[in-house]
Amino acid sequence: MDKYFEIGKITGTHGIKGTFRVFPTTQQPERFELLKEITVENRGKIEVFHIQKIAYHKKFVLVTVKEINDINVAETYKNATILIPEEKAIPLEEDEYYTKDLYDMEVYTEEGEFLGILTDIYETGANDVYGVKKEGEKELLIPAIKDCILNVDVENNKMTVKLLEGLRN
C-alpha cells in the first residue's frame, strides 16, 4: 500500500449540496488548491474523490467533490481523514521534516544522554515545541529552534539536542 500523509479532517458539511468542511492538519492549507483529487479514509474504508471546488471559511477549507452532491451522504464522512499519497507531498526545504517522521523519535543530548521519546508536538505560533517523555519522569519540553535541535536523523530515528539553561527541571 502507498504511504500517505494526512492533510485534513472532515469536521462536517457546509451548505446543502454536500461540501465537506475540513479542518486542515497541514501547515499549508492552500495546498488543497494544488490537488485534483483527495483520498478519504472513513471507518477503515479508503475512497478517492475528484475535487470540483476549494474555498475557505474561517479556519476551514471547504472541499466540494464531484462524487457527492447531497448533504446526507456528505455527513456520513464526518470525522474521516483526508490523505494524499507521499509522492504528492510538498517537497521539504533543508532542515524541514514531516511531522509524522518525528513522532516516536529517540532524543539524546549532545553528550549522548537519552532524554526520552518525542511523543507530542505543540504548535505555539513562534515555533513548535517538542514534548519528550521518559518513563517515570515529567515531560520535557524542547523548543524546535536551531539553538536546541542540533541534528535530526530520520533514517536512524534519532534526534540530538542541546538543552538550554532552564529547560530541565
- What is the percent of the chain with per-residue pLDDT over 70, rounded to a whole number? 93
**Locate cell 494526512: which residue?**
6
| Predicted pLDDT of residue 123 | 78
Contact criterion met (CB below 8 Å) for 132 and 117? yes
What's the N-to-C CA distance of the chain in angstroms? 44
| pLDDT beneath 70: ranges in the chain | 1-2, 89-96, 169
- d(CA 15, CA 29) in angstroms, rounded, equals 20
pTM of the model: 0.62
What is the domain partition of the chain in residue ranges?
4-88, 99-161
Beta strand spans in the chain (E): 4-14, 19-24, 37-42, 45-57, 60-65, 81-85, 106-109, 114-123, 128-133, 140-143, 149-153, 158-161
- d(CA 99, CA 26) in angstroms, rounded, equals 10
Domain 4-88 has CATH 2.40.30.60: yes
User: At the top level of CATH, which class does the domain 99-161 belong to?
Assistant: mainly beta
φ, ψ at 21 (rounded to 5°):
-100, 115
* 167 DSSP assignment: S
Residue 153: CB atoms within 10 Å: 11
- 105-124 pLDDT, tens digit per residue, is 999 999 999 999 999 988 77
And the C-alpha cell for 90?
Answer: 510538498
| Predicted pLDDT of residue 91 | 65
Query: How many Å separate Cα 9 from the centre of its chain?
Result: 10
| Predicted pLDDT of residue 92 | 65
| Predicted pLDDT of residue 1 | 42
